[in-house]
Amino acid sequence: MVKIFCLLSFFSFLALLPATHLNAQENQPAFVELGENDSPFLLEREATLPFFTSKASTVVSIIQDRIEKTTIALTDLATTFESIRLRQEKVKRSLGDVTGVLLEQIEDAEKILIGHAEKLENIEETDKKYLQENKKKSTNIDVIMKTINSDNWICPVAKTVKFYDSWNEQRPRGIHRGVDIVGFHGADLYAPVDGEVVFFWDSVGGRSYKLTNENGDYYFGTHLYKFGKKSGKVKAGDVIGQLGAGGNATGPHLHFEFHPGPLGRGNGVNPYLIANRHCVDRIPMEMPLNHTDAEKREKYLFPYGNFEWD
């Protein structure tokens, strides 16, 4: 019985999910250098997101198809529950042979429920996992796209920065699940969004912060030189620390993570795409931070980054 209700609430949640609408941008970037097949390609910074949108809409249509199937099964189940409820009301009204009617109702209800449980069990375990996994991906894609396109998102490091897409890079301590934003030692660190900031000591990264937005988005930054003066509620753009090389860092940088809500912490995605869009005072990795070659910087194309969801 409990299992049925768990399943029911999961699928109801699925059915309530709004369709993700991702409109492909019509304006193509001025210059695009395509790699082979599907490999990451280069776009100019202002380029819009045709690559994401085409991939995302494929996934969305697959998910919608699955959701439709589930919705049909659910509609059936809802009708059954309604009939049980009506019968139960009848029982309440029946002051005569209450016990007899009640037993009959319970028996009937059990039969119907077992029948429907079997029906739901027929959705294979792999399909259930598929639906769950895709619901998460679909929500993540939605949040990533919104964050990339947000006008209010602030680059977490002040002044000139440099970084590359190091998501999933093999490191001595394991797989890298963030972006390393290299900047000037002591540069201000900004809250990228409004939220609640908490400072703490991380055994690996040293001074660290976590920032949680009210929609559940979770940010983590580490290797700080100093904690910010403000903790608790902060606004986007508030100074929440200074950049350093604390913990196991080999040079001044902010190890920055993004875990989209509503799942938040533990649901890490590649933050490169977001930094790529919003950290505009950026130079190529091979240039020193205090470079003066504005022309070279102007011409440089940054890789678009890895949008990993399958």
Which residues here bind Zn ion, judged by CB under 5 A? 178, 180, 255
- Rounded least distance, CB 66 to Zn ion, Å: 36
218-222 and 226-227: which strand pairing? Answer: unpaired
Per DSSP, the residues of 31-54 read -EE--STTS--EE-TT---HHHHH
- Rounded least distance, CB 247 to Zn ion, Å: 10
- Rounded least distance, CB 205 to Zn ion, Å: 8
Residue 307: Cβ within 10 Å count: 22
- Rounded least distance, CB 254 to Zn ion, Å: 8
CA atoms within 13 A on the CB side of 214: 5
Closest CB to Zn ion among residues 255, 282: 255
Spacing of C-alpha 222 from chain mean position: 20
Closest CB to Zn ion among residues 116, 255: 255
Closest CB to Zn ion among residues 68, 169: 169
Burial of 130 (0-12, 13-18, 19+ CB in 10 A): middle
- Rounded least distance, CB 174 to Zn ion, Å: 11
- Rounded least distance, CB 180 to Zn ion, Å: 4
Q: Are 179 and 275 in contact (CB under 8 A)?
A: yes
Whole-angstrom CA distances from 85 to 82, 107, 110, 147, 231 are 5, 14, 13, 44, 51
* Residue nearest Zn ion, Cβ-based: 255
Closest CB to Zn ion among residues 205, 260: 205
- Take residue 254 and report the two structure tokens written for it: 């902010």
Measured CA to CA, the distance from residue 188 to residue 152 in angstroms comes to: 18
Closest CB to Zn ion among residues 57, 248: 248
Closest CB to Zn ion among residues 186, 251: 251
Closest CB to Zn ion among residues 87, 253: 253
- Rounded least distance, CB 191 to Zn ion, Å: 19
Beta strands in 80-205 (DSSP E): 161-162, 170-171, 174-175, 179-183, 188-190, 195-202
Measured CA to CA, the distance from residue 125 to residue 17 in angstroms comes to: 21
